[in-house]
Each structure stands twice: as C-alpha cells, then as structure tokens.
C-alpha cells in the first residue's frame, strides 16, 4: 500500500530544498492514493485533477511534477514509441524493500526506455545488492538499474529521401 502521509511528502520536498504547497501535496497525494502501476502522462494527471474538482493550469502542473521528480517522489520516463513523459510514484517510505526500476538510457538522445520484461531477475539483483549492503550496516532505500547505450533511433536514423 503506497504511503499517503502528507508530512512525509513535505519532509521529502524540504530535504530537496523545495517548497511544499497545497497544490504540490495534492498532486503527490493523487499519485500516492493510486495504484503503483499508474504511470500517467502530464495530460492524464491534469485530467484526474480536473475530475477530482481540483484543476490546475498546465504550466503549473509541469512545475509541480518537476518538483516531485527532483524530490525523488516521482520517477519520470518515456514509454517506447511515445514522446510524452510518464510519471510514476516512488513513495516516501525509505524502509521499504528497494524497488529495481530497470531502464535503458540512450547516451546520444537521453531517452529512457523502461525494461518491463526484466522484473523478476532484476528484483533478485536488487535483493542481492541490499543484502550485501546490509552486511556492511548500510541501508539501501532504492536500487536503480540502468543500461546505457545507443537506441535504435540513433543507431539507424531515417535515411534521407532518395
């Protein structure tokens, strides 16, 4: 069950040197209350806020989402074949088991591609890393697994028209 503690959300924002306003808390709580599988685009978040009777100006919403990403409360990535960012709640509970978020990042265009089919093995890697750290007295909060390289679009750019 995702955390919906507004105090913990405020604390995270504060630790990141960011202001927590009623609006940013409202957006965070929208994510926290939703399923962890909810990875909406900016437009979908705007739609949910409007549906909840708390519509936000699109520019304001972009800034709030950026603030939550900067505070580590939201993850941001692009889905394959999409140009829009998708956002995912990461939560405030540092005691939770680290969640591996495997993705591939193109070093040329910096697009991130989530690797959805790698869940079980990557979670096993995350667990092994956490155990190793625990043996040294460290507490891992989160494990991010990233593969770097060159994406298909950058390797084979569309040929110029003949």
- Report the residue number, 13 or 151, with the smaller CB distance to Zn ion: 151
What letter would DSSP give residue 122? H
Q: Cβ of residue 103: shortest distance to Zn ion, in angstroms? A: 13
Q: How far is the CB of 105 from Zn ion (least distance, A)?
A: 9
Q: Which is nearer to Zn ion, 49 or 106 (CB)?
A: 106
Q: Does residue 105 have a known ligand-binding role?
A: no
Q: Sheet of 146-149: strands edge to edge? A: 112-114, 103-106, 146-149
Q: 106 labelled as ligand-binding? A: yes
Least Å distance, CB 125 to Zn ion, is: 25
48's enclosing H/E stretch is: helix 42-51
The answer on whether 151 is annotated among ligand-binding residues is yes
Nearer to Zn ion, 54 or 107 (CB): 107
Q: Residue 105 in 3-state DSSP?
A: strand
CA-CA distance, 25 to 65, in Å (whole number)?
11
Return d(Cα 98, Cα 65) in angstroms, integer.
Answer: 22
- Minimum Å gap between C-beta 154 and Zn ion is 3
**Closer to Zn ion at the Cβ: 7 or 108?**
108
Residues that bind Zn ion (CB under 5 A): 106, 108-109, 151, 154
For the chain, how are helix, strand and coil distributed in percent, rounded to 5?
Answer: 45, 15, 45
**Binding site: residue ranges?**
106, 109, 151, 154
**Binding site for Zn(2+): residue ranges?**
106, 109, 151, 154
């Amino acid at each position: 069950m995702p955390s919906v503690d507004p105090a913990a959300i405020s604390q995270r924002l504060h630790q990141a040197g960011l202001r927590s306003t009623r609006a940013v808390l409202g957006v965070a709580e929208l994510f926290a209350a939703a399923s962890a599988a909810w990875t909406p685009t900016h437009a979908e978040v705007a739609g949910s806020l409007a549906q909840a009777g708390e519509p936000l100006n699109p520019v304001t919403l972009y800034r709030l989402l950026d603030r939550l990403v900067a505070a580590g409360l939201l993850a941001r990535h692009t889905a394959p074949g999409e140009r829009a960012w998708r956002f995912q709640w990461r939560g405030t509970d540092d005691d939770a088991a680290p969640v591996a978020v495997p993705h591939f990042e193109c070093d040329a265009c910096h697009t991130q591609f989530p690797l959805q089919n790698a869940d079980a093995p990557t979670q096993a890697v995350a667990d092994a890393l956490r155990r190793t750290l625990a043996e040294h007295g460290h507490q891992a909060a989160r494990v991010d697994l990233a593969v770097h390289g060159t994406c298909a679009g950058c390797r084979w750019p569309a040929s110029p028209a003949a």
